[in-house]
Chain A
Amino acid sequence: MENLNTTFQFSKKAKIVLSILIFIGLVALAYGIFKYSPEKVWSALVLNSINFLTIGLGATFFLAIHIITQAGWHVSIQRIPEAISMYIPIGGIFMLVMLFGINHVYHWIHEVHHDPIITNKEAYLNVPFFVIRLIIYLSVWTALTLVLRKLSKKSDIQDGLNFYNKGRTYAALFLVFFALTIVTFAWDWFMSIEAHWFSTLFGWYVLSGVIVKSFAVIIIVLAILKYMGYMDFITKDNIHDLARYLFSFGIFWMYLWFSQFMLIWYANIPEETFYFIHRLEDYKVLFFLNLALNFLIPFLVLVVRKFRRVLWIVAAMAVVVFIGQWVDQYLMIFPGTMKEVPNIGFFDIGLTIGFFGIFLWVVLQSLTKADLLPKNHPYLKESFNYENI
């Protein structure tokens, strides 16, 4: 264990590649502003801002839940979710920028006094409260994430156990706050796009998607680091456990998706069904692609034990789930804001690539700030020595 390479260097080559990705994003943005309506441009920006912010949140969730449950297996990869969670402040800034475009995305803003249904919801759906809520979410999420990160970094130079125990309080606070606010966040930023429609399951359904997506991204970042020649200390059992998460939370996502769909389909109440009718008729390909990418393909591959222990297969499935979750959030936003049929082109994909470049830049930059192995963590040994059946 002494000879492990645990300091990460953000190489020049990686910086060049990421700069190209960010450049593609900027070109796509300029192209979009030039070619498409502001509704479409702002919708795409909102989609990507939320998409990557929620990955950071899912990473803090990952850390918090493992601190609370006193888990030990994840310690050798713990610095990856920590680095991913460092995107939350940056993603928060993007969310604040999005506030300038909300009147293009959320029709309740300008219909509030013409539409009796929306007028009834005004106590919750009004712009000042919307902004205040966003600021509360972002500040608490960022504060708790930074505290957890700071405690983990401090444990490298001082006593690990002490900082681990301190982290438990903050982890518990984060979990409670996150579980409540991710639901209202989903109402605010996704469900209110079609303000007439409502579903009580929606918040949990978004939560399950956020969790499975951030597990997928943790695996993708792990695969990238391994490709760059780091993280040699990862065992097959670590990969196995990550793959299990991807597998089981994919099933959980499908379960919630289907619970929401079937109840609305069966009850057949017009106020609820229009949401799915619109998606089934005009977005048919994406609608079924969503199910295939998020459930069917990962399920059928990861159900095989041998595949769960091979990093490149797990990483390929993680990419599939990542794309699938992007499609899922696309289907939450675009059918509501753009009445036309789907039109995914260079703009939508290029913008996501650009955001991914920024995201990965932040993650790799944060990885350089601490050892890749939290060497004083009380459960460090366990994560190397345990065995999966």
Chain B
Amino acid sequence: MKEISGYYDKEASLLEAVKNLRENKIKIKDVFSPYPVHGLDHAMGLKRSWLPRAAFIGGAVGAISGFGFQVWVFTRAYPINIGGKPFLAAPSFIPVTFECAILFAAFAIVIAYLFRSHLGAGADNKIYDERATNDRFVVVLDTAEIESNETEKIKSKFEETGAMNVKFEE
């Protein structure tokens, strides 16, 4: 994999660099930052996250399975007469159904997030700069999509916008 990466120490210059590169039709592979940078999604032209949809699906699955499990337990597997209520006492199932919906939605969000961001156990991510978790911002470009004669231009773009360092990797 061939990559070019630019290193910044200021949020403002990072945003400027991202805008500048996109204006010149240069595709950005990814940006690493120690914290969420306000307006970066816009500058990178990212689409809306589908995390809410994962949460909704998780919640719906949780609600249905939570309710269904209780129906199965209280009518088929182990019916007990509790307080003279009918076996299928739907109102008393609601709190557990609600909790299951929340639990499954939370799991769905965490799993979808870890999956999408290549994080979690067993993830093998390349670390561009250790300080990207502290006070540095990294912009990464994929050279496979860039003409070889353009690399010099890109380097100058990086330096123009205040990059501290530009790395080429074969």
What is A's interface to B at a CB cutoff of 8 Å?
258, 261-262, 265-266, 268, 303, 305
- Which residue from B56, B91, B95 sits with its C-beta under 8 Å from A261? B91
Complex CA gap A305/B53 in Å reads 10
Sort A-B residue pairs by CB-CB distance and give the 5 closest, nearest first: A262-B91, A265-B91, A266-B92, A258-B94, A262-B94
> Could you give 16 example pairs across A and B, Cβ below 8 Å?
A258-B91, A258-B94, A261-B91, A262-B91, A262-B92, A262-B94, A262-B95, A265-B91, A266-B83, A266-B85, A266-B91, A266-B92, A268-B83, A268-B84, A303-B56, A305-B52
Nearest A residue (CB) for B39:
A387
Contacts of B95 in A (CB 8 A): 262
Which residues from chain A contact B56 at a C-beta distance below 8 Å?
Answer: 303
A261 to B83, CA, bound (A): 17
State the Cβ distance, A256 to closest chain B Cβ, in Å: 14
CB distance from B42 to the nearest CB of A (A): 9
Contact string against A for B residues 29-55, beta-carbon threshold 8 Å, 1 for contact and 0 otherwise: 000000000000000000000001000
Alpha-carbon distance A172/B84, docked complex (angstroms): 48
**How far is A265 from B93 in the complex, measured between Cα atoms in Å?**
13
Q: Size of chain B's interface in residues, with CB distance under 8 A? A: 9
In angstroms, Cα B167 to Cα A139, docked, is 72
78-113 of chain B: CB within 8 A of chain A: 83-85, 91-92, 94-95
* Nearest residue, chain B, Cβ from A261: B91
User: Whole-angstrom distance between the alpha carbons of A94 and B92 in the complex?
Assistant: 42
Nearest-CB residue, chain B, relative to A268 = B83
A262, B56: Cα distance in complex, Å: 25
Q: How far is the CA of A186 from the CA of B83 in the complex (A)?
A: 32
Bound Cα distance from A262 to B93, whole angstroms: 10
- CA–CA, A258 to B93, complex, Å? 12
Query: CA of A156 to CA of B84 in the docked complex: distance in angstroms?
Result: 65
Chain B residues near A265: list those with CB within 8 A: 91
**Among A266, A268, A303, A305: residue with most chain B CB under 10 A:** A266
Residue of A nearest to B95 (CB): A262
Contacts of A268 in B (CB 8 A): 83-84
Residues of chain A within 8 A (CB-CB) of B85 are 266
Closest beta carbon of chain B to A206's beta carbon, Å = 21
CA distance A232 to B91 in the complex (A): 46
Name A303's closest neighbour in chain B (CB-CB): B56
Complex-state Cα separation, A109 to B92, whole angstroms: 37
Further 12 A-B residue pairs, CB within 8 A, beyond A262-B94, A265-B91, A268-B83: A258-B91, A258-B94, A262-B91, A262-B92, A262-B95, A266-B83, A266-B85, A266-B91, A266-B92, A268-B84, A303-B56, A305-B52
CA distance A268 to B56 in the complex (A): 35
A258 to B92, CA, bound (A): 10
* CB of A275 to closest CB in B, whole Å: 15
Q: Which of chain A's residues has its CB closest to B56's CB?
A: A303
Could you tell me the distance in whole angstroms from the C-beta of A250 to the nearest C-beta in chain B? 15
Give the Cβ gap from A210 to chain B, nearest Cβ, in Å: 24
Residue interface mask B113-131, A partner, CB < 8 A = 1: 0000000000000000000
